[in-house]
Amino acid sequence: MKGLFAVEGKRVLVTGGSRGIGLMIARGFVEAGATVYISSRKAEVCDAVAADLSRLGSCVSLPADLSSEAGVQHLVTQITAAEPALEVLVNNAGANWSAPLADYPGSAWDKVLNLNVKSIFLLTRSLVPHLAGAAKPGDPARVINIGSIDGIRVPLLDTYAYSASKAALHHMTHVLARALAPQGITVNAVAPGPFESKMMAETLDRFRDAIVASCPLGRIGEPDDMAGVAIYLASRAGAYVTGTVIPVDGGISGCV
């Protein structure tokens, strides 16, 4: 069992890695000995977070705005110039939009679907050669998509585009898993429940007590919960897992 969950020396790219779920995952990989690249839209924030994480291990800032195809290509150019191959891609960058049904704008669908689905497809497709170049027999390269339990069950807020985008991402995970398996790349999704993050702030402000009461494990998620599932999927322990969506929500979506 020694080394079953080891990720030392693996090269990992985490999009949206400067805050929230992405930061939880990036910190976990850094502390576990991986070489981590984080990307986010605001360069100064990305640089500051990477400098902070570098005190714990190896972390490099690669700022990029993934809301456009040009931004995706900019990130691809940066990571391929920095590394000849990539063992792990964590697609975490995303956006949300909440508004009543009657007022929900069409522009929200464009923004949320572009970032939460299209950009993930484009980035993953562009990095397939780099991922395949890192794959080894018994140790495939890994793509980890960050979905949401809001793509599994009806959300508490009026986040129509967000929940639809996460359901789409979950299904795209299944499709990509089949397509990329022959090249030695696994594709899985993690569907977080309630965690302390900027995206969850409004929901937790309004519904914290109800969420905790509805959670079989009786608490909000903690950073180690996200880091742990990502490291599992990236390590030898998760080498035979692909095409799955793993809820990390204390049982909220499964214990009904």
Question: Does residue 60 surpass a pLDDT of 70?
Answer: yes
Is 101 a member of any domain? Answer: yes
Residues 112-131: what's their mean pLDDT?
A: 98
Question: Does residue 1 surpass a pLDDT of 90?
Answer: no
- What local confidence, expressed as pLDDT, does residue 108 receive? 95
Is 118 a member of any domain? Answer: yes
Residue 232 is part of which domain span? 11-245
Q: Which pLDDT band, with edges at 50, 70 and 90, does 197 fall under?
A: confident
Question: Does residue 256 surpass a pLDDT of 70?
Answer: no
CA-CA-CA-CA dihedral for 165, 179, 83, 85, to nearest 10: 150
Is 219 a member of any domain? Answer: yes
Is 250 a member of any domain? Answer: no
* Secondary structure, 3-state, 6-39: CCCCCEEEEECCCCHHHHHHHHHHHHCCCEEEEE
Residues 181-191: what's their mean pLDDT?
A: 98
Residues 87-111: what's their mean pLDDT?
A: 95
Cα separation, 141 vs 62, in Å, equals 21
Contact between 101 and 160 under an 8 Å Cβ cutoff? The reply is yes
Residues 169-188: what's their mean pLDDT?
A: 98
Q: Which pLDDT band, with edges at 50, 70 and 90, does 205 fall under?
A: confident
Cα separation, 36 vs 83, in Å, equals 11
- What local confidence, expressed as pLDDT, does residue 113 receive? 97
CA-CA-CA-CA dihedral for 45, 47, 48, 52, to nearest 10: 130
Question: Does residue 144 surpass a pLDDT of 90?
Answer: yes
Question: How many domains does the structure of the chain reveal?
Answer: 1
- What local confidence, expressed as pLDDT, does residue 38 receive? 98
Is 4 a member of any domain? Answer: no
Is 1 a member of any domain? Answer: no
CATH number of the domain that residue 27 is part of: 3.40.50.720
Contact between 20 and 195 under an 8 Å Cβ cutoff? The reply is yes
Contact between 7 and 29 under an 8 Å Cβ cutoff? The reply is yes
Q: Which residue numbers are catalytic?
A: 162
Residues 59-78: what's their mean pLDDT?
A: 97
Proportion of the chain above pLDDT 90, given as a percent: 85
Is 255 a member of any domain? Answer: no
Cα separation, 25 vs 13, in Å, equals 10
Question: Does residue 235 surpass a pLDDT of 90?
Answer: yes
Cα separation, 200 vs 196, in Å, equals 6
Predicted model pTM: 0.95
Question: Does residue 254 surpass a pLDDT of 80?
Answer: no
